[in-house]
Chain A
């Protein structure tokens, strides 16, 4: 950590990143990595990877990786500042657009926008699933477990928590 307060820099970084995050927090991870590791030098490559893994494994939104980066760079105030920078302006925008969106639910232009956004969302989420699966697949059994989880959760009403617990258990035992 440097002597001069990095909180202002944190806020500026994550304001910029949040505005780029069309498609969600995972879409800007490479950009986040560039800023945090290469430009600002707040973390090593390994620290960044570990931080991301913890944010993925912990319950809650994936964007909490931002909170964790803020925490590691500048403590509690850093965590708060980074989180608010990542969420504040985009929340206001989402609130405004969300209201407009609902008010015009019968309008034809909305039907057109919706017809465009729904398939885009499906394609992007499927892509995240595959990218996540590639990142998680450290062995053939691991990849098979991902496929089995996808099939079970698609075909049944089973709570996803059971498959998460099973994955954690099998992993801890070194079976996948």
Chain B
């Protein structure tokens, strides 16, 4: 693979310098495994901390942009992200290593947990514990969105903020089907972005 280059302006607030040497297959597998086994209630926030801050495989800007790509592509976001990151460093095998690291152990784990939980699910403490876990998981996702939105606040650009706000309102206040939201907002966002980038 070609040498890995970074975007010119790393974000000093996140403390991310240029990435270290490209990870190998085993490192990709173990890296995504280390993310996924502690990712309760959503992988993206944990993945951001690991890939950007701990391993420094991608810069903060690249991560946000990769999330955008992973969301725009069909399929589970975090799986797309792992495939793109693994593939970028080590080709198809890297993509496979990242995918297996992300999914193999948790897939077995979730089946085992469901077997146990089906047996003890009627106990109030167990379902209360799950409710508390869900509340924390929601807060984690909100915190991640706020982190990702920091560039929008630091360098405010009207069209970016408008797109983010429109997507947010369409999915929460108006609660439209996802396909319709994307069908309208994606062309609109592309047009606005093209207009803002014209010379």
Contact = CB atoms under 8 A, between A and B. Distances in A.
Do A and B actually bind? Answer: yes
Given A91-B79, A163-B136, A22 B71 contact: yes
Contacts of B135: 133, 136-137, 142-143, 145-146, 149, 167, 171, 176
A153 B71 CA distance: 23
A118 B160 contact: yes
Given A67-B111, A117-B68, A129 B145 contact: yes
Interface of A: 18-25, 27-28, 30, 50-51, 53-64, 67-68, 71-72, 79, 83, 86-87, 89-91, 93-95, 97-99, 101-102, 105, 108, 111-133, 135-138, 142-143, 145-154, 159-161, 163-164, 166-174, 176
A23 B106 contact: no
Interface in B99-139: 99, 102-103, 105-107, 109-111, 113-114, 117-118, 121, 124-126, 128-139
Interface string B1-23: 00001010000000000000000
B73 A94 contact: yes
Contacts, number: 374
Contact of B103 (A64, A68, A114, A152): A64
A86 B95 CA distance: 16
Nearest to A79: B111
Nearest to A128: B141
Interface residues of B, number: 102
B41 A164 contact: yes
Interface majority SS (helix, strand, loop, mixed), chain B: helix
Interface string B27-39: 0000000001111
B160 A115 contact: yes
Contact of B152 (A113, A119, A130, A160): A119
A94 B82 CA distance: 9
B114 A90 contact: no
B167 interface: yes
A146 B136 contact: yes
Interface in B40-71: 40-46, 49, 64-65, 67-71
Given A59-B40, A98-B87, A122-B148, A169 B132 contact: yes
A23 B178 contact: yes
The 5 nearest A-B residue pairs measured at CB = A171-B132, A60-B106, A90-B75, A149-B139, A123-B167
B83 A98 contact: yes
A132 B125 CA distance: 21
B164 A119 contact: yes
Given A61-B76, A108-B197, A164-B136, A123 B131 contact: no
A145 B109 contact: no
